[in-house]
Amino acid sequence: MPTCTKCKTEKPRSEFYRRTGTPKGLCPWCKDCNHKAHREYRATARGQELAKLASKRYHRSEYGKEMNRQRARQYAADPKNKKRIRARIRKYQKRNLLKSATKSAVWRAVRAGRLLKPTACSCCREKVIVYAHHEDYSKPLDVIWLCRQCHNDLHVRKRDLATEVA
Mean pLDDT of the chain: 93
User: Which positions ≥6 away from 29 have C-beta within 8 Å?
Assistant: 4, 5, 6, 7, 16, 37
**pLDDT, tens digit, 9 for 90 and up, residues 47-104:** 999 999 999 999 999 999 999 999 999 999 999 999 999 999 999 999 999 999 999 9
Nearest CA-CA partner of 144 in 153, 164, 160: 153
pLDDT above 70 (res 166): no
**pLDDT, tens digit, 9 for 90 and up, residues 109-121:** 999 999 999 999 9
Report the distance separating Cα 110 and Cα 37, nearest Å: 57
Report the alpha-carbon angle 134-72-130, nearest 5: 25
pLDDT above 80 (res 161): yes
- pLDDT above 70: percentage of residues in the chain: 99
The pLDDT value recorded for residue 114 is: 95
pLDDT above 90 (res 12): yes
Strand pairing of 131-134 and 26-30?
A: unpaired
What is the value of pTM for the model shown?
A: 0.55
Q: What is the mean pLDDT of residues 24-51?
A: 95
